Structure 1
Amino acid sequence: MEVLINELSLNGQNQSIQDFINTSFVRFIEIFQILEKQKIYPYKKYDFYNSKITETENFQSLFHLKNVAGISDEIKKYRTIADKCLSEPFWEENQQHDSNKVYLYKNQNVSNTSIPEAFERNATLLSFVPSDFNEKQIEVSKENQSKNLINFSDKKHLLETLYENKLLNFHFFCLNYFRGTKLSFENINVKESFELIANESIENDFYNSFKVFVEMNWNDIANQSNDTGIAYKKHHKQNEFYSYALNYEIYKFRASQKFRVFGFREKDIFYVLEIDTTHKRSD
């Protein structure tokens, strides 16, 4: 998969650099880091550094960030990603689109940008939001030919696309897709969970149950404890998990009639530890 950073998604729309960081750049960083972990390194335009963050400040202004105490670790992270956005690879080193031809997006000629380059490469775009590129796909046309280009501006959209195209495993997908929700895979025992999933059908059962879980509130989850819905309840064999040395009771919920998910709740987050694909633990 090839990904091109869409410089047109920065057009001075932010009120300040801090506004850009809070509303846009943090989301961009999430996507960028996931791509890096998959060894996908986004292409960019030579002059991307000049893309406007605000009406008066460009992308290169991120290198001048400071806080009261100097340069914090957070600012160092911003600078590191910003530097990668200004480094190789550049798509102009092997340009595929003809700059003399007209490529239209929303009736505007966008020739000599990353958009027509993605068009010719059958590549995807990585856009900053909010902008004119909030959609998951954008329609671009050249002469009598039209294409819908995949456009990443949201971490979950990226993860879904990579997962559907089998470019990442289920463990990595869940770890990142559900981060920040009431379901966490940070403490999971991979050997007693993801490595037990034998096929795509079982994987789908767990994925669907995870989505149902995070969409419910804790009152609704608790009210399904009597073998209804996800059947969230305390596990009757607490000693099975003694090796984790936890100060929490182990609970479980249903992924299917046969499959179960085990873990513990801390505040409003359920930390998954193991899964059961045999139903033996629930017998």
Structure 2
Amino acid sequence: MEILLNELSIHGQFESFEDFQSTALIEMLCFFNLQKDGVTTLLKKSDIYSKQVYRNKSLHDILISKDKEGKSDEIRKLKSQLITIITDPFWDSHKQCSDQHKYLYLKQDVSNSCLAEAYERDCPIISLKPSNFLADRLDVFKDNNGKSLLNYYSYLSLVQKLYNDRFIEFEFYCKTFFKGTKLDFSLVNRNKSFEFISNKNDEDEFLNSFIMFRDMNWYDILQQGGKGENVAGLAYRKYENQEIFDTYKVQSTIYKFRTTQKYRVFGFRSGDTFFVLEFDLTHRLSD
């Protein structure tokens, strides 16, 4: 899937590097990770390095700065990732927008910009937030002809769209969409989990329970334990056959919760996070 980074959404709107880092840079790097994972082709304009970020500092200035912004390991890591934003692939290496036409957005001339190029390629756009481009669709006009372009300023909204359109698999979606929540899929055994899900209906059953788990607090989750007639909701409780999971070598108790009357999810809790290990769609782990 081809998608263009909106260089016009970098317009000196940040107060400091810390402001840029916390409000835009981390999210922007998430967008770029989709390219690294082979999901999207993210194109930029070749002069994006010159865009002003804050206090007359450009992306290039941030990369070469030797002041306090470049001292911490975290900042060095971010700078190394930032390099991918100002290097190939560039859309203007094979430009499709025409210099013979005028392109307008909100009656402003945006010729020879990402918006003009996206108009011709008929592809989505990624914009930074905060910026002047926080709308789900950007209406761009070429002469008297208009086109409404999809615009993503939330990484998760793009991931949701990619999943809905089947550009990404359910496993990739879960690992991405639930990252940083109380439900973590980084340790999941693919061969004993996602490989068992064979159709969209099963996906929907699991997804609904994952969203419920994410949105509930731990007190409410723990109230939904019990067995037999006392079982309720997610039915979160300790798994009896702990030794079955010995190969994972986790120093925590294994718990399970249900997605339907038939399906179960197994893993362990660490702090406020539940790490998923396996799914059960056939009662093979029934206790």
Both proteins in one fold, TM over 0.5 = yes
- Partner amino acid for 1:253? F
Alignment-derived partner of residue 243 in structure 2: 239
Among candidates 266, 271, 280, match of residue 275 of structure 2: 271
Distance in 1 of aligned mates of 2:210 and 2:42: 30
Whether the aligned pair in 2 keeps the contact of 1:30 and 1:155 (CA below 8 Å) is yes
- Partner amino acid for 1:157? S
Alignment-derived partner of residue 220 in structure 1: 220
Alignment-derived partner of residue 159 in structure 1: 159
Q: How far off is 1:71 after superposition?
A: 4.5
Aligned residues: 283
**Deviation per residue, 1:70-119 (Å, 9 max, x gap):** 65443333223332222222212222122342323223222211011111
**Deviation per residue, 1:151-207 (Å, 9 max, x gap):** 222221121122222222222221121110000011111111011111121112111
Distance in 2 of aligned mates of 1:209 and 1:44: 38
- Partner amino acid for 1:236? E
**Deviation per residue, 1:44-83 (Å, 9 max, x gap):** 1122111110241112112134465965443333223332
Stretch deviating more after TM superposition (219-228 or 97-106): 97-106
Whether the aligned pair in 2 keeps the contact of 1:62 and 1:78 (CA below 8 Å) is no
Q: How far off is 1:241 after superposition?
A: 1.7
- Partner amino acid for 1:187? L
RMSD over aligned Cα atoms? 2.1
The aligned runs of 1:27-38 (5 Å cut-off) are: 27-38=27-38
2:254 matches 1:250: yes
Alignment-derived partner of residue 111 in structure 1: 111
Query: SS of the residue aligned with 2:82?
Result: helix
Alignment-derived partner of residue 45 in structure 1: 45
Distance in 1 of aligned mates of 2:187 and 2:142: 49
Alignment-derived partner of residue 194 in structure 1: 194
Contiguous gaps of at least 5 residues in structure 2: none
Distance in 1 of aligned mates of 2:106 and 2:179: 35
Alignment-derived partner of residue 145 in structure 2: 145
Query: SS of the residue aligned with 1:63?
Result: helix
**Deviation per residue, 1:197-223 (Å, 9 max, x gap):** 111211121112111110111111112
Distance in 1 of aligned mates of 2:123 and 2:74: 31
Distance in 2 of aligned mates of 1:205 and 1:184: 18
Stretch deviating more after TM superposition (135-144 or 222-231): 135-144
Contiguous gaps of at least 5 residues in structure 1: none
